[in-house]
Amino acid sequence: MPYQRSRTGRIGPKTPKPPKVITPEQLAASGTEHGHQAALFCWAAIHFEVYPMLRYMFAIPNGGERNPIVAGKLKAEGVKRGVLDIFLPFPAVAPGVPRHFYNGLFVEMKIKPNKPTDEQNEFMEAMQKSGYQCTVCYSWIEAKDAIIGYVMGQPVFTFR
């Protein structure tokens, strides 16, 4: 255990500092796609008791700058171009509808003025035909609202 000298000169155990609490707003303040996605997962960690299915939401590491060795390893492991950033593998149920109407939700995070690539549009179209909801969000707040709408059985905006 680390020790420190107190103001009175006594030596004793070091008092642990309380953990720093980081909010979604602080994470998103960078204005980057990474910052907004980290903010979304921070929000999800705080709210999984309200929305238990958030425990199963995960990121898909398809984009970003990588050195050639890491890129080669990820490609060998099955990483594919066009797959969206986030997946919530939880079926949505609309009120009054006796069956699930979506199998899961894919979210693509973008920063304006960026738009989905041709590969991402193709992926979204294929997933929607297969019973998945897909949406493109330009902030963590848009993504949060889309996810809440999805789990509450409300329509989610799709392509932009």
For the cut 80, the answer to whether the pLDDT of residue 38 exceeds it is yes
Spell out the CATH class of 22-151: alpha beta
**Angstrom distance (rounded) from CA 158 to CA 149:** 12
**Angstrom distance (rounded) from CA 133 to CA 160:** 14
For the cut 90, the answer to whether the pLDDT of residue 16 exceeds it is no
Query: Tokens in use for 28?
Result: 């998103």
Alpha carbon distances (Å) from 23 to 14, 33, 52? 27, 16, 20
**Angstrom distance (rounded) from CA 75 to CA 70:** 9
**Angstrom distance (rounded) from CA 11 to CA 147:** 52
**Average pLDDT in the 147-159 region?**
78
**Average pLDDT in the 40-65 region?**
91
Residue 27 and residue 35 in contact, taking contact as beta carbons nearer than 8 Å? yes
CB crowding 60-78: b at 16 or more within 10 Å, else e: eebbeeeeeeeeeeeeeee
pLDDT at 72: 86
pLDDT at 6: 60
pLDDT digits (tens, 9 = 90+) for 75-128: 898 888 899 999 999 887 766 665 567 899 999 999 999 999 999 999 999 999
